Amino acid sequence: MSFDFAVILAKGPAILAGLGVTVLIWIAGTLLGAVLGFLVATARRYGGRLADLVLSVPVEVLRGTPFLVQIFLLYFGGPYIGLRLDPVAAGLLGLTLYGAAYYAEIFRAGFQSVPPGHSEAAQCVGLTRFQTILHVQLPEMALLVLPPSMNMAVILLKETALLSLITVPEMTMTVQAIGSQQYAFVEALVVLALVYWALVEFANLLGRLAERRLSAYSA
């Protein structure tokens, strides 16, 4: 058995298009998930006991079930309750919700790590609750929240591969299709794995740089 990578590499533009979809959905899903997760964490902390209890349910369900089951439920089950989404929309919504549950926990831990004395002091000098969150708690949290946030972003990048199973035309689906057309399935998968590997290591590198940058402000 000989391997022929030339037929795969000849399809470079198509692979890049798939890579583009992967990166776009990843970044959009991660940012939306982080924002939604932050809102959930804030509501859980400042919205009273009831909000905390009610919001803990979706967070635990999303964290306790496989992402694959979630997107199948959304994409195949959605139309039965009038939620008819195209693959990209379902994929993006699924990734956002899944990410939001984990980001909510990351920010919750972040809130808990800020010593209560600091926010009490802020309120004593006359800062409103909103100002306290914005000027005291968020900057103190940032350093602590950054490493797990970057870690989660990398996890979400890898989860985007599952979107191929609901026919989102991202990189995994694109490269698999090329592999079958060219009768070079193994070669296609090797190329696919290498591109993901490079992308993940690049994201890890960015995370380490951001950490180093931010830690300059820690003292």
Partner 1 sequence: MTWQLFELLLQASLMTIFVSAASISLGLAFAIGLSAMRMSGLAPLVWFARIFISFFRGVPLLVQLLLIFNLLPAIGLSLSSLATALIGLSLCTAAYQAENLRGGFEGVPRGLIESAEMAGLSPVQSFVWIRTPIALRLTFPALVNEAILILKASSLVSVVGMIELTKMAQNLAASTYMPLPIFASAGLIYLAINWIVAIAGRRAEAALPGLPAK
201 interacts with partner 1 by CB under 8 A: yes
Longest dimension (CA), the chain: 75
Q: Per CB under 8 A, which of residues 49..68 are in contact with partner 1?
A: 60-61, 64-68
Q: Does 178 bind partner 1 (CB under 8 A)?
A: no
In the chain, which ranges are continuous DSSP H helix? 6-9, 12-46, 48-64, 67-72, 87-113, 116-124, 129-132, 138-159, 171-181, 185-215
Nearer to partner 1, 69 or 124 (CB): 69
**Which C-beta is closer to partner 1: that of 65 or that of 128?**
65
Please state, in angstroms and rounded to a whole number, the distance separating the CA atoms of residues 114 and 42: 14
Shortest Å distance, C-beta 57 to partner 1: 11
Residue 136 CA to residue 10 CA, distance in Å, equals 54
Min dist. Cβ of residue 210 to partner 1 (A): 18
- In three-state secondary structure terms, 183 is coil
Reading phi first (left if > 0) and then psi (alpha if -120 to 50, else beta), residue 4 is in beta
- Determine, following the binding rule CB under 8 A, whether residue 177 of this chain makes contact with partner 1: no
- Name the minimum Å distance from CB 189 to partner 1: 4
Nearest approach, Cβ of residue 133 and partner 1 (Å):
29
- Distances from the Cα of 202 to the Cα of 157, 195, 206, angstroms: 12, 10, 6
Minimum gap (Å) between residue 45 Cβ and partner 1:
23
Q: Which is nearer to partner 1, 7 or 185 (CB)?
A: 185
Which residues are at the interface with partner 1 (CB under 8 A)?
A: 1, 60-61, 64-70, 72-73, 76-77, 80-81, 158-162, 164-165, 172, 176, 185-186, 189-190, 192-193, 196-197, 200-201
